[in-house]
A and B are shown apart, each in its own frame.
Chain A
């Protein structure tokens, strides 16, 4: 029997963080909402089992990341076709740093976006990210390093002074 009250409590305590994460890995408000709702829907369908999971929020992040990767893979080709013929994207006001970051993130591979989001939004260490994504520590370091370098190239106003010293911290 699934306990609706415990699910609702879990939802209320984690949905905001999950929405930030979804936004960081998809780069799109609507998609983030779709993915996060889909992830919570899957969580509810398995809540009898998941309610006793030692780390249900980590499970949820994994689902969001997998859904985002899959959707990205599919939509990327569709968007690529549209971008050749469609109007140019609307430029955000320069003050909207978060929006500028999201635009830059869209040009990074999914794994790099995921690693950066786990590090900067959830304060996770390289080792913790490696455990969550089930890849070697060296791979996570590479994702973070390449992701930061690429962001530095895409966001030229950012200082790159600390990049060399901290690029795999």
Chain B
């Protein structure tokens, strides 16, 4: 079996388990600066799946790609501690304010820069938005097949991967040709622990921006010249050839109008088939109750 090149998409998210009173801005968006951050839990499942494939297929490399502000470099370091081979940051003020559409575009541009690749893995969704859109949209932009809700990889061959999907009412086993993208469900195994030696090895990994920061001590910069693998590559708009109108706020049609706290009371769920009739009925219903339109 040939080695695979896996890219894991990981996001730094606010730790919603430790939310204070200033967690939200008046406009209803998350006040990111005020919250402690963590590795998005589903993305850790994706990292574990990637490392599991690496265990199974010798020579496979796991590259982590994250998009976010400077402090999102923690995601790369954390990934190194747990076994990732490489890490890249997409970080530029101009990417700020991106909704899922602009984010998917940006990530897809970053992934293209990492080509050739075999498999893109990401968590099913991030706990700060719960949209579950970024994975599927990125696959669309890259024009590769996608498999969502993956719980387990059953088998891998040179050209194809077979995975089990965890669905609401059962499981489904599907195969997809390489390259493809998978989003990983949280019913998959939890991520392995940090490894002692890797923590000691990579604790001084820094982005260029971090290295340039005044608070960084000189010996760290020297260490990076001796151990270049400690420097985390950072990509801005130009590095990934992104078009300005498709990134950041200008690339984001989503506007948050208001946020309300809603307690779900509906007990029944409706199961629809993928027939045109059912889809038409659903659209009509959603328009009637003003969910869309």
A and B bind:
no
Q: B residues bordering A, Cβ < 8 Å?
A: none
Q: A residues bordering B, Cβ < 8 Å?
A: none
